[in-house]
Chains A and B, each alone.
Chain A
Amino acid sequence: MGVGVYSYRQSRGTRTDSLVAKQHRPAPDFTLPLIDGGQLRLSSYRGKVVLLDFWATWCVPCRDETPHFVELQQKYGGQGLQIVGVSMDDSPDPVRTFYQQFHMNYPVVMGTADVGGAYGGVLGLPIAFLIDREGRIYAKHIGATDAAVFDKDITTLLQTR
């Protein structure tokens, strides 16, 4: 696995706590059920910058991040950003309620242990992957990550064609 440099960002256990790894391997493709029906295939977003967020409704840092993702999707969607949420909840019911409550504006699918394993194991939440327009993993953020960090990575990736 092409894992690069890990570094802790700021203090541990706070909203800005995250572990970031620069990676350059292809993002494993998957097809998963959307919470509102239908299927989502990750590779259908090739050409866009994708922020793939593994999260769950009961995960406090995930809940804190959601409004920032809604803002980022609104801000950069027109420039080619697509956020995709992968819920690690056991059932879709609380996810549908959460989706409405938080006015989420990006697709959410129900994750599986297999997909988590393909991404190196989602053994803690949240974990977010930034994927470039070529479908390669640019960065992996483990734990709550400051919105400014995502903003910086996204703008960098959006500039590449």
Chain B
Amino acid sequence: MRTAKRFALLFLSAVCLITTSAFAQWSSIAPGRLISPEDLAKMVQSGKEKPLMLQVGSRMLFLQAHIPGSEYVGPGANEAGLQQLRKRVEGLPRNKFIVLYCGCCPWNHCPNVKPADDALHAMGFTNVKVLYIADNFGTNWVDKGYPTAKGE
């Protein structure tokens, strides 16, 4: 009986740990401020005015594949990347619709989007969305057949 209790406790702890880890980044960016690949792809294909889309991850990944019309501004994980981001948006109205994305790694491991989102928030931007990429840009965007561009 005692062994069963211990096992149950261990199991519950493991579940809590995995859940906490997997949704760490999800919970730190409000779900209402996320945009799905499907919704953004529709927006890109609509022909209407598009948001300013900024890739805040790896340049090497951007060169291989990125969302058409998006710009590379540097990794949000380091200060140099954040400075480039601030410089890119400093002259924009604070209600400008901006979409940040990365896709370097699974969502809960991405080191880039949260700091970039925080930086825009600190500058007073009120209409920022973050592209929710569960696994990586290849799996959740390119392999889905959504519009993709290569190069600079």
A interface list, Cβ under 8 A from B: 11-14, 17, 19, 56, 58-61, 88-90, 111-113, 116-117, 121-125, 142-144
Q: Which residues of A contact B107 (CB under 8 A)?
A: 13
- Tell me whether A124 and B104 are in contact (CB under 8 A): yes
B105 touches A59 (CB 8 A): yes
- The answer to whether residues A56 and B106 also contact, given A122-B64, A142-B139, A143-B135 and a CB cut-off of 8 A, is no
A-B contact pairs, 30 of them (CB 8 A): A11-B18, A12-B134, A12-B135, A13-B21, A14-B21, A58-B112, A60-B105, A61-B105, A61-B106, A88-B58, A88-B61, A89-B60, A90-B60, A111-B60, A113-B60, A113-B63, A116-B60, A121-B65, A122-B61, A123-B137, A123-B138, A123-B139, A124-B61, A124-B103, A124-B105, A124-B139, A125-B104, A142-B136, A142-B139, A144-B106
Other-chain residue from A13, A19, A112 in contact with B22 (beta carbon distance below 8 A): A13
A56 to B112, CA, bound (A): 13
Which 10 A-B pairs give the minimum distances between C-beta atoms? A124-B136, A123-B138, A113-B63, A60-B109, A13-B22, A88-B60, A123-B137, A113-B64, A124-B138, A90-B59
B135 CB to nearest A CB, Å: 7
- Distance of A16 from chain B, by nearest CB (Å): 11
A-binding residues in B (CB < 8 A): 18, 21-22, 58-61, 63-65, 75, 77-78, 103-109, 111-112, 134-139, 142
| 4 additional contacts (CB under 8 A) given A12-B135, A19-B135 | A14-B21, A61-B106, A122-B138, A124-B135
On chain B, the residues within 8 Å of A13 by CB distance are: 21-22, 106-109, 134
A111 — which chain B residues lie within 8 A by C-beta?
60
